[in-house]
Every structure is written in C-alpha cells, then in structure tokens.
Structure 1
C-alpha cells in the first residue's frame, strides 16, 4: 500500500492535517491504534483560538462550529474578591475565541474524512515507522490479524505524548524540557447552565478554579487539587461546595449545580522536545509538546503545527521546495515556546503552590493587580489568549 503522507494518530491533529492535505490533492492515510469510539470519547479542550477557527474553515469543516460554537469576546479574572474583565475583542483589534469542544471538532473531522473516502485504519496494532532517515520511509501495522505495510514520502507523528512516533527517534537526538506541577485539575462535565456567559479564571487561597462551558446547557468546571488526590474521593456535592468556596460570592450565589456526567483529574505538566523532526518523520501536537491547560493552548498548538506542516508540504509537492522541510521544527518551536511561556505564566499566577510563602503570595496578587490595572498588561494577556499569529511559509 502506498501514499504520499502517512499520518500516525487520528485525533484532531491527524484528522485536520489529513483533511487539509486531501483538499490540496495530497494523498494521505491515517493509522490509529484506538477505535473511533475511543477517540471520540476523550473529553478535552474547548477554547479555540482565532487562528484555529480560521484553519477549520479553510479545511471545510466549520459549518457546525459556526452554527453551534459560542464566540467569546473576553473572559474574567477573579482574585481578592474582584472580577476583572479582559476584553479580548477590544484589546486585539477584533479577535475573539470560540467555545467548541474538542470532541465536536473531532466528530466534524471524522465525518469529513468519511465523506471524502480517504483511508483511515482504526484499532491498528503494532504501529511502527521505519527507515526515517532514508528516502523511502514506511509504516507497518496490523489490523484484525492482517499485516500491513504503508510506503510513503513522509510520516506525520500525530499520536500524542505516549505515542510511538517520538519514541521512534533515537533518544540521543532529542532534547527534552519538562516541568511537572505539584497539582492537577479536578474537572466535571454537567448539564447545567453556565454561571457566566464567558469563562472565569479564579485565584483563591484554597486554590485555582475555572468556570467554563461547552454549550448554553452544558458546563465544564475545574478546581485545583493536590497531585495525589483520587477522583473517587470527590462526590458531586463535595465538588460543588469546593467550587463555590473559590468563587466570588456574587458568582457562587448564581451557580446552578447538578449531577456530573463525567469527572476526572488531569495532571499538569509543561513539556517540549527539540527538534520536532527526524529524517522523514515530523512530530505534531502532543507528540512534541504539552502545556498546562491554564492558557488554553494544547489543542491550539497542535493546530498551529498542522498549519505549518501542511503549508510546507503543499510547497514541497507543488513547487519542489523540499528545503522547507528542514525549517519545520524551527518555525513551530518559535510559537510553541511563546505559548509555553504564557501557559506557565497563567499557571504560576493563578494556582497555589505547596511551598508558597507569604511573600510569594503577595507577589502573585501584585502581579495580577499590575497586569489588570495596566492597558499594556491587559493587551499582553489578550494577544496571547486569542493566539499569536501563524508564521508565514515563504
């Protein structure tokens, strides 16, 4: 079996890359180790940057997003009993974010791929890329007891942090940067109306809290918990009481509670690997980097990687610009490190760390007070939150 681009991983990054390449006339095959139902069952991010929204429109998969997604012009920072509004639209000359769940993005991309007739192998076992430094790389895998070999020009590793793609690169080639945070986010999904029309990020002496949503009738709430906490120790009642305690009184009084339909604890880490390419293999999304969710950058960074690789490959096939492939990692990493910085900054600013002393707490509050009290500070927050521009491929 032959194709031009083999894509390992059918999450939103792999599917979006496949959709864009297909529309550009570049043949591609996706190989995914999980079932389609498993991929759709993953509950993930829901805040889409302006750039990702435009990329989904370019890919021709935005109809439902544009109809059902919630455009947000800003968000609130709550601390010291205050609620400060960051007006994204005003501070960034009209840019906004879109609230549309990753599950829904994935569903739309799956539907588009099925309609296109492009090939996808789900529940594939023993996936392995080969001959990455040669001119004829290939991917082997098995499905339903049958062995497959997929010959290709290039391989896109879109298979996440624990996937085989990064692990296929010799360790001595890679440099890893990592910070593991001493806490996680306990999150619940509930069919209740949102407490606010837009997101609220709260810094409280008991820890961080976030009020988010997936739709006008479905909410996603989070509270910071210690890294060793177990989700089974948190009843719905305990969660709602803890969330209320961390919100400003006027907001807590409006909170509508209800039974959770999903509950989980997500650990927080920052991770980047350099370089993001090895021979004919290119790492995309979580295979190369992880950000704490505070800055809403994980899915959006994957989309910017997709944008870069897609535009490079179009120029390679249409114009013979193979030298651009060597620039992929450098271009991606410039944006990645800026997003890592913003996510680290938001995490440091809004969470309570176990070893934080009184001085550090006052500095944290003063940092918040300074940024929201300064037009330049608000603009800095806003331009990072809506997403820095994608770098042009020349």
Structure 2
C-alpha cells in the first residue's frame, strides 16, 4: 500500500492534520494502536484558543463546537479569600477562549473523517516508522495477525508522549528537557452545574484548586495533591469538602455537589524534545512536548504544530518547496517554549511548593497581588492565556 502521509495516532492532532490534508487532496492514512471506542473514552482538556477553533472550522468540523461550546471572556483568580477577574476580552482587544471538551473535538473530527472518506486503521499493533532518514520512508504495522507495509513520503508522529514516533528518533540527535513537579492534580467530573460561569484558579494554603466545566450541566474540578496520594483514598465526600475549603466562602457555599462520573490523579510535568524533525519523520503535539495543564496549553500547542506542519506539507506538494518542512522544527519550537514558559509560570504562581520556604511564599503572594492590580501584568497573562499568534 502507498499513501503520501502516514499519521501515527488518532487523537485530536492526528485527526486535525489528517482532515486538513484530506480537504487539500493530499492522501493520508492514520494508524491508531487503540480501538475507536477507547480513543473516544479518553477524558482530557477542554479550553480551546481561537486559533484552534478556527482550524476546526477550516477542517469542516467546527459546527457543533459553535453551537454547544461555551465562549469565555475571562477567568477568575482567587487568593487570600478573595476572587479577582482577569478580563481576557478587553485586555486582548476582543479575544476569548472556548470551553469545549477534547472528547467532543475528537468525536467531531472522527465524524468528519468518516464522512469525507478518510482512512483510519484502529488497533494497529507494533507500528514502526522505518527509513525516514532517506527518501523512501515506510511504516509497518500488524492487524489481525498480518503484517502490513505502507510506503509514503512523510510520517507525522501524533501518537503522544508514550508513542513510538519519538522513540524511533535517533538517540544521538534527540535532546530532551524536563521538569517533574512534586505534586499532581486529583480531578473529578460530576453531572452538576458549574459553580461559576468562568474558570476559577485558586491559590490556597492547602494547595491549588481549579473549578472548570465541560457544559452547563457537567463540571470538572481539580485539587493539588502530593504525588504519593491514591485515588481510592478519596471518596466523593472528601473531595467536595477539600475543594470547598480552598475557595472563598461565598463561592464554596454556591457549589453544587454530586457523585463523580470519573476520578483520577494526574502528575504534572514540563517536557520538550528537540528537534521535532528527523528526516521525513515529524513530531507533533505530545509526542514532542508536554505542559502542565495549569495554562490550558497542551491541546492548543498540538494545534499550532499541526498548523505549521500542514502549511509546510501543502507548500511541498503544491509548490515543490522544502522551505516549510526545513523550518518546521524551529518555527514550532519558538511557540512551544513560550507556552512552556507560560504554563510553568502559571503553575509556579498558583500552586503551593512546600520547599519554597517563607521567603518564596511571600514572593508568590506579592506577585499575585501585583498581577491583579497591574493592567500590564494582567494583559501579559491574558495574551498568553487566549493564545499567542501562530
């Protein structure tokens, strides 16, 4: 079998890249190691930058997002028992974010791919990109006990942090940068209305908390916990009691509680791999970088990678130019490192670090106070939160 582009991974970045390529008449095949049902069952992020929203519409998969998504023009920061609103819309000249779950994004892109005849192989085992450092790359995989070979022009690794794409890169050429944070996020989803119409980021002596949502009747809440915590030790009642302790009293009193639909603990890390190109193999999204979720950048960074790679592939096939492909890694990494900085800063600002000492704690409190009382500081936060330009 032959195709122009093999995409490894059918998460949002792989599906978005595949759909843009299909719309442009560039043949592509997606290989996914899991089942379709498993991919759709993953519960992930839900805050989309305007750039990602525009790309979903460009792909022809944005209609339901526009109908059902929740546009947000601000976020709230709470500390010292008070709530402060950051007016994203006015601070950025009219920009906002869209709250729309990653699962829904995946569903919409899958539906669009099926409607337009895109090819996806689910439960493709032992996927292996080969000879991508030369002019004739190919990918092998196993399906139903049979080994298949797909010859191609390029391979896009959209298969996440634990995927095969980055592991296939030559170790001598790959450099990684990483910070692992000394805490995790205990998160739940519950079929209850959100406590606030916009996201609340809370800094409290007991630790960070986040009040988010997936819809007007489904809420997503998190609390900072030590890495050694076990999710089975957290009953719903214990979780609700804890998050309410970390919110201003007026907000806590308004919170509607209920049984959790999903509960998990996620560790936090910052991670970047350089470069993102190895011959004809390109790393996209979590395959090349991870951010802590504090700044809502993970899915959005994957979208900007897709933007750069799609434009480069389009230039290659329509103009026979290598310029975009040659510049992909450097261009993507410039934006990645800015998002890494912002996510690290938001994490440092809103979480309690037990090893920072009294001085470090006073510095954090001073920065929070400066942030909410300085238009310049608030503007910097807002510009990064709604998304830097591609």
TM range (shorter): over 0.9
Report the Cα offset of residue 324 of structure 1: 2.1
Q: How does 1:161-172 map to 2 (within 5 A)?
A: 161-172=161-172
CA deviation vs aligned residue, 1:19-73 (integer Å, no higher than 9, x gap): 0010011110000001111111111000001110111111110010000000000
Aligned position for 1:312: 312
Indicate yes or no: 2:327 matched with 1:327: yes
What's the CA shift for 1:118?
Answer: 1.2
RMSD: 0.5
Q: Partners in 2 of 1:101 and 1:324 — Cα distance?
A: 31
1:83 corresponds to: 83
- The match for 2:152 is 152
- Contact 2:311–2:324 (CA<8 Å) still a contact in 1? no
Within-5 A mapping of 1:118-133: 118-133=118-133
* Conserved? CA contact 1:80–1:204, under 8 Å: yes
Cα separation, 2, equivalents of 1:107 and 1:118: 14
Residue 237 of structure 2 is matched in structure 1 by: 237
Q: TM-score, normalised by structure 1?
A: 0.98
Corresponding residue of 1:112: 112
Q: SS of the counterpart of 1:349?
A: helix
Provide the C-alpha distance between the structure 2 equivalents of 1:284 and 1:356, rounded to a whole number of angstroms. Answer: 34
SS of aligned partner of 1:321: coil
- Structure-2 residue corresponding to 1:60: 60
Gaps spanning 5+ residues in structure 1: where?
Answer: none
Deviation at 1:354, TM superposition (A): 2.3
The count of aligned residue pairs is 390
Distance 1:132 1:372 in 2: 50
Match of 2:8 in 1: 8
Matched, 1:366 2:366: yes
Tell me, in whole angstroms, the C-alpha distance in 2 between the residues paired with 1:354 and 1:291: 21
- When structure 1 is superposed on structure 2, of 98-107 and 364-373 the one drifting more is 364-373
Superposed structure 1 runs of 4+ greater than 6 Å apart: none
Following the alignment from structure 2 to structure 1, what is the Cα–Cα distance between the partners of residues 223 and 64? 30
- Once the two structures are superposed, the pairs formed by residues 187-336 of structure 1 within 5 Å of their partners are 187-336=187-336
**Secondary structure of 1:215 counterpart:** coil
SS at match of 1:194: coil
Cα distance, 1:171 vs. partner? 1.0
C-alpha displacement at 1:356, in angstroms? 2.1
State the distance in 1 between where 2:254 and 2:107 align.
Answer: 32
Counterpart of 1:182 in structure 2 is 182
What is the alpha-carbon distance in structure 2 between the residues aligned to residue 380 and residue 50 of structure 1?
Answer: 17
Residue 188 (structure 1) shift: 0.2
Partner residue, 2:29: 29
Matches of 2:309 and 2:58, distance apart in 1: 15
Q: Describe the superposition over 1:155-193 as per-residue Cα deviations: whole angstroms up to 9, x where unpaired.
A: 000000000000001111011000000000000000000
Once residues 171 and 136 of structure 1 are traced to their aligned partners in structure 2, the CA distance between those partners, rounded to angstroms, is 21
Measure, in 2, the Cα distance between the counterparts of 1:361 and 1:313.
48
